[in-house]
Each structure stands twice: as structure tokens, then as C-alpha cells.
Chains A and B, each alone.
Chain A
Amino acid sequence: MKQDELNKGKNLKSLISEYFIFVIFIIIVIGLTILKPSFITPSNLVNILKQASINGILAFGMMFVIISGGFDMSVGSTVAFSGILAAMLGQGNNPLILALIAALLAGLGVGLINGVGVAVGELPPFIMTLGTMTAVRGLALLASNGKPVIGMSEPYKAIAAGSIAGIPMLAVFLIIVIIICSFVLAKTVYGRRVYACGGNLQAAKVAGINTTAIRISTFAIAGFLAGLCGFLMTSRVTIGQPTAAESYEMDAITACVVGGVSMTGGVGKPWGVVVGTLLITVIANGLDILGVSSHWQKIVKGLIIVLAVLIDVKGKSRKN
């Protein structure tokens, strides 16, 4: 009986720590609505969806990598490089599919190189992806000769600007990615193996899981989704920029960490990443709407990261 109560108390605490970030999110939304009612208007909600999309897609790729015990610094550069390729191929009367496929393949290629380096070469993920981050940024600059690529075809520009039933196309892409990734991670054998690799690599190996293939695949997913973001990013800003998406990897990692994905691997839920992404976007959007200096945005974002991880760590030590 006493044990039961104790468990209940524990459960309640872990429940609070698990959903804490969601509570924070709701509080921030309510707070912003009170401070500035125009925050909650439909047109601004559409803005938030648009602004969350690219980071959200990147964060979902990052989620796979971090849960499997890795880390990917290169996604920002990959967005820029694949975006440049898409911009070059998205000109004139080229069919759009060409630009999309080129961007996806470029992203996938970078992801595979990362994965092989980490899983086969046994390089620390940070070092491996730091290398590709630098080299791929160089490729983006080289491919574009340092200049923005202009002259995208109208249909290409229209992709990011369009919407279906009031939902911006960018968000439609995000929602599709969320549905597929959540399903794969939560409901498939592959998903469970990703968690197993991050939880305890040796144990996963002993259990007969092909950890090398799993780890390569997570980097490939992150790269592939970064390629998709490159395609969408170019459509959104209507130019291909070699310097675009600088430090987007940090925003993606932030969304994951804030959403409860543990940097040590093996832990994390897709819905948490959704909330993490929305939280970051809402803060940036809210502070813009309040007309607050962008310097404050950095401070607030930093505090939220530390707070989120603090809660993550405390929650875990309590469970143990």
C-alpha cells in the first residue's frame, strides 16, 4: 500500500518532468496572447507554422541521430549546399522534380558520408560532422562561386508561398515528415533498434542488432531531410544562398534538447521535438511581435535550453 503511494508520487513527479516543457509552452502562448493579442490571430499562426517548418524538419532528422547516440553538426551546411543545387536546377523550364531529387540526393550523400565516418570509421560524431560541416559549406560556396543564385522559375517560388486549405505548404511538408518519422520511431522494429543503439551500443550489438547499419541510416535520414529543407528553403527565400542556414544545426539540436531528447542517446519522443520546435519559433515570433530587440531573443533562447536540460537531468536522476 505504502509502496503504491510512493510509486504514485514518483509517477506524478516524472509525469510533471516529462510534460514540463509542454506546460511551459502553454504558459508562454497565454502570456504572449495577453501581452499582444495580435499574436493569436490566424495570420500570425500561419506565420508561426511557416517559420517552424524548416527547423522542424531538420529537428526530426536530428532526433534520429541523437536518439541513436550521435550528433550532427553538418545539417546547416547541407541545407545551404542542397539549396544551391536546387536553385541552379530550378531555373527556367526545368521540371521541378529535378531540383528536388538533386537536393535530396546531395543531402543523402552528405548523411551517408557522416554515417560511414562515425559508424565504420569510429570517429566521434562531433569531429566527423564538424569536418563535413566545414567542407560542405565550402562546396556550397564553390558551386555558387560565392554569389547568390537567382532566377528561379515561378512554379518553384510558388511552392513555399502556396497553401492547402489555409495551411502553408511548408507546414504540410513538416506534418508529413512528423507523421512518417513518428510512426517509424514509435511503431517499427527499426525505431526500437535506433533507441537500442543510443541506449547501450554494446548491448545492442550483443543482441544481434546491426548497429553499424542503424547508425549510418540515422545520419542518412538527417542528411536526406536536410536536403529536403534545402529545396524548401530556396523556394521560400526565392534565391539560393551559399551562406544560408548558418547555425541551423544549433536550432535543430535546441529543438530536440528542449523537447526532451537526451544528448546521451536512447531517450526522446517525437511529440517532444514538435513542442520543442514550436516553443523556439513562438519565442522568436513573440519577441518580434512585441518589438523586443533581437539581443533579448538570444538571452531567452539560451535560458530555455539550459532550463530544459536541467529538468531533463533532474528528472532522470530522480528515476534512478
Chain B
Amino acid sequence: MKKRLMAILMAGILSAGLLAGCGGSSSASSSDTAEKDAAETTEAEAGSDAAAGGYKIALIQQHQTNAFQIAVTEAAEAKAAELGVELTILSADQDAAKQISQIEQCTSEGYQAILFEPVDPDGLGDAAQAAADKGVIMINVISACTDWENHGISALSCGDNVTAGETEMQHVADLLGGKGNIAILTGPSGDAGGLQRLEGYENVLKNYPDMVQVVEPADCQWDTASAQGTVESWLSAYDLDAIICENDGMAVGAGNAAGADSGIIITGVDGTPDGFEAIKDGRITGTVSQDGGAMAANGIEAACKLIDGETLESNTIITTNIWIDKENVADYE
């Protein structure tokens, strides 16, 4: 009995701590919290106001824990406001089972369209099919389910990770004159997006036999600190001309290890604020922007068209990659 009481007390203290933490954060970044509040209001309205004549759309993100995904959230909200869409944004927290439940939930709540980035390309197809069978317009954003067209998914709005990888490696090849020692930092082994970027690298490297990978690609888990440690070690043993990273976070780590204006070409993918900062102060050379915001916005536009009964020009909407370096970084911040 006493133990149970203590347990309850502890839960209380813990949640008090949580609240205190929230207070601290809101004062530190009031604009962010305002956005969050706005998102919550949108959710609340969408829940209560079902058939007001407008569009009622749900967006289920893979997660909301990095700059790329937050850009998706913000762009989706902006597009929804522009088109008068009641938009609910949910996060699947990298959990396929949770995403399936969210799709089922949104279907039964009468959403006209559901946009989602599949947590697992193979695991979400059946859930999408079931929702589509009940008349919900299903759209993939950012990445697609395997064989998506045969799983009731009407459209796909995405970037192309293979092309992003090709763009990045091609710029490195041009800067090196097609010759040099290179090394690659990858995301978690087995991550679909990472593997596609790697495929893009390899497509370009085939044409440049004098660009040599002197070490095996290192799995740095998208993590800055991990990349920094690995590259520090490499630099004391190898003479590297370029370090190609599958995201900006790792490129920043590599840039920290090499130092500003090191003469080593360091590149990333994503176009996130930490990457831009490092481009400006010369720690990294450039990045390939994956415009996640545009992917979400295009997806919402497509959903509205389909709800209105129009047809799309193409059911695959590709967002182009942009190479960003010191010359043009100011335009993208």
C-alpha cells in the first residue's frame, strides 16, 4: 500500500518536472510554441468540425524529431491554410503498428484523404488498401509503399533519393576533377532512404575510376557526434580529398573534425539549418536540398484535386533536388 502510494507520488513529481520543462522551453522559443499551439488548434477544429464543406485531410508523418520533418510539418500547415484545408497532423514516431492504427482511426473519423510517409515500405500497404476500399484517398509523401499503385494509393509526392545521391556525388566529382581519395558516411545500415542515396553515389562513381574509396563506408546513424569521431580517426591515418555524407548532420560532424576551410570537400544531403550554418563558415562545401516541405505541399494540393474529382497530370509528383553551396545558401535559409 505504502509502495503504491509512493509510486503515485513519483508519477506526480515526474509530471511536475515535465511541466516545469515545458515552461522553460516556451520562454526560450516562444515562436515555436506558438506554431505548436496553432497545430493543436487545427487538430481540435478538424476533430469537431467534420463536414463544413471544406477539405478534411490527415497527414501522418514518420516522426517529428528532426529539422527535415519539422519543415514538412510547417509547409503542410502553410499549404492547408492557403487552400482552406482542415488539416490534422499526426506523428507515427517511427512505429509501423502505430501508423496502421492511425490510418484506421482517420478512416473511421471520416477524413477525405490521408497523406502518409510509410514508416515501413512493406508494412503499410494493406492498411492503405483497406482505407482506400472505404473511399479514402490515400497519398504517399516523401517515400512510397512498395508497389504502391496496387495498394490503393492514388498518388505519390516525393523527392528522389537516388537522384539526390547522384547530384551530390556528381558535384564532388566535378570539384575533384574526377580524381581523389574519398570516404562515405551513411545513415543506419538498412535504412531505405540511405541505401537509395548510396545507390546514387555508386551510379556516379562508376564513371570515375580514379575516385577511390580508401575506407569502407561508415555507419554513423545520422549522428553528428558519431561522424565527428569517425572522421577525426580517419584524418590521422588517411589523406582524404572528399567526405560524402548521407545527411547534413553527419556532414557537420565531418566538418567539425576537419575544421573550417580544410581543403577537404565535405558534402551532405537535406538542406537543414545546421548544414547551412556550416556552409557559411566553410566547414562543409555544400548540400543537396531535399525539399520535404514542397513534397508535403504538393501532396496536399494533389489531395484537394482528387477530392474535387479532378484527375492529376501524373500520379507521381517529383520534387527536384537543389545543390546549395556558399554561392546560393543565403537564398534558402
Contact = CB atoms under 8 A, between A and B. Distances in A.
A interface, over-half SS: helix
Contacts of B223: 241, 243-244, 246
Contact of B221 (A39, A43, A122, A246): A246
A131 B189 CA distance: 28
Contacts of A295: 189, 219
Contacts of A233: 225
Contact of A288 (B9, B65, B230, B273): B230
Interface string A62-99: 00000000000000000001000100110000000000
B236 A143 contact: no
A246 B249 CA distance: 14
Interface stretch (B23-31, B113-121, B148-156): B23-31
Given A142-B22, A148-B249, A245 B225 contact: yes
B3 interface: yes
B252 A145 contact: no
Interface range, A side: 35 or more
B177 interface: no
Contacts of A292: 216
B15 to A, nearest CB: 9
Given A146-B64, A288-B230, A122 B6 contact: yes
A270 interface: no
Contacts of B219: 293-295
Interface stretch (A14-22, A23-31, A113-121, A193-201): A113-121
A241 B249 contact: yes
Interface stretch (B66-74, B80-88, B160-168): B66-74
Contact of B6 (A51, A120, A150, A285): A120
Contacts of A294: 189, 216, 218-220, 230
B273 A148 contact: yes
A178 B44 CA distance: 52
B215 A291 contact: yes
Nearest to B255: A238
A255 interface: no
Contacts of B36: 145
Given A41-B236, A139-B21, A292-B216, A237 B253 contact: yes
- Top 9 closest pairs, chain A to chain B, by CB: A291-B215, A288-B233, A143-B25, A44-B236, A145-B32, A121-B10, A121-B6, A293-B216, A294-B219
23 contacts: A36-B237, A47-B236, A81-B21, A113-B14, A116-B10, A117-B14, A123-B10, A135-B14, A141-B64, A141-B65, A145-B36, A147-B67, A148-B273, A150-B274, A237-B256, A238-B256, A243-B65, A245-B225, A246-B223, A288-B230, A291-B214, A293-B216, A295-B189
